[in-house]
Amino acid sequence: MKKILFFVVWSLIFISCASNNQHSSDTLVNALLNEDWVKAQELCEKDYKDSSSTIYRAIKGHVFLANNKNNESLELFLSIREIEDKDVWLKWTKQFLQEYKNNPVALFLYGDGLARKNDFENASRNYQIAENEAKQNLTKAMILNALGVAYASMDSLNKAINILEKANIAFPELADPYASLGSVFLWKNAAGGALEYFNKALTKSKDFLLAINGRGCSNFLKFDKESFKLAVSDFSLLLKDSNNVIKDLATMNINLIGNEVLGKNFVLTDSIGMHTRTNSQIRKDIVHNVSLIEAIDYFNPAGMFDQLKNKTQSNLNKQYDVLKSRGVNFQSPDKLLGGATTSPLIFAQIDKGNYKLYSWYGLVQKKN
């Protein structure tokens, strides 16, 4: 079992290998040096299955990402987000590069170590050198994906898009660059483009949870009824069938939509000042609240917005009572949401620029 000998083996590598040597007697190191990501995955799943050091978890995260095991990769990267883990990883990658100068994977991993310390400028320089040295297209795509994320993290979104598109050309079967592009388009408030790329990511990795979350964000930001339903469906799926990390991400998004969007519409028809409103204004409030309650009914996984619904229903009852006290008998028609004139009520007060939902890059070098 290599678990016990893991650190010993790595230490011996650094002592015994000459700096210009591109071969190691350690099988996992050798697979990385030779850009053999398939062999590296086989080793990670068998001989190194039980290894759990910070270094191993980081390596395995990249190996799994290269093989479209995106959920496993995400979990591993999220497990090395403490400052101490990042320091250990950066120190190791620097030493690894010193031992294997100009090796593209060594350059790439050192860039990753820098990026996890938010040194994206120096990370980008290493990625650019690594990309020139890489021999395998998959390695090039991995490097370009990381370079694109680095540019996006420095708010150079157009440059990030160009780099990520090159990653897709280099190795079209790699899922993560498509999802990275989707996230960049979300930052640019380009919901249609984001949706296209998240869908492409899901054709390469069908259970890619971050891409499902991104697809939900993209559909919501299209601001139409059918897309809204699709967004709710994705977030509800993540709440039921995901690991805890993705559940937290989906919960943040669904709370943001519910509390900010539905809640903002609710405030418009609050009971405060109701008796000072005209009959016509109260009729409009009633129509609005009936539509809002219907929206909550299909946007309410696990009863997350029962309190909002109950409060809205209470206001609606008070609005009916006020009209009745004035001798006005008004009943709003049921099921307003599908109507051409009433469906916009849900989104009438939404400022699209204020509702950026949460999406992460698969490398999760920082929380986005």
Which residue from 286, 306, 285, 288 is spatially nearest to 296, judged by alpha carbons? 306
Q: Given this model, what pLDDT does residue 227 score?
A: 81
Whole-number Å distance between alpha carbons of 250 and 216: 9
pLDDT over threshold 90, residue 250 = no
Mean pLDDT of 261-265: 59
Whole-number Å distance between alpha carbons of 197 and 204: 11
36 against 281, higher pLDDT: 36
pLDDT digits (tens, 9 = 90+) for 91-140: 999 999 999 999 999 999 999 999 999 999 999 999 999 999 999 999 99
Q: Given this model, what pLDDT does residue 264 score?
A: 57
Q: Given this model, what pLDDT does residue 294 score?
A: 73
pLDDT over threshold 90, residue 363 = yes
Q: Given this model, what pLDDT does residue 311 score?
A: 82
Which residue from 221, 216, 211 is spatially nearest to 191, judged by alpha carbons? 221
Dihedral sign, CA of 343, 336, 261, 265?
positive
Q: Given this model, what pLDDT does residue 130 score?
A: 98
Q: Given this model, what pLDDT does residue 19 score?
A: 41
Q: To the nearest whole number, what is the mean pLDDT of the chain?
A: 82
Whole-number Å distance between alpha carbons of 225 and 221: 11
pLDDT over threshold 50, residue 237 = yes
Token pair in block for residue 37: 């990501």
Q: Given this model, what pLDDT does residue 336 score?
A: 46
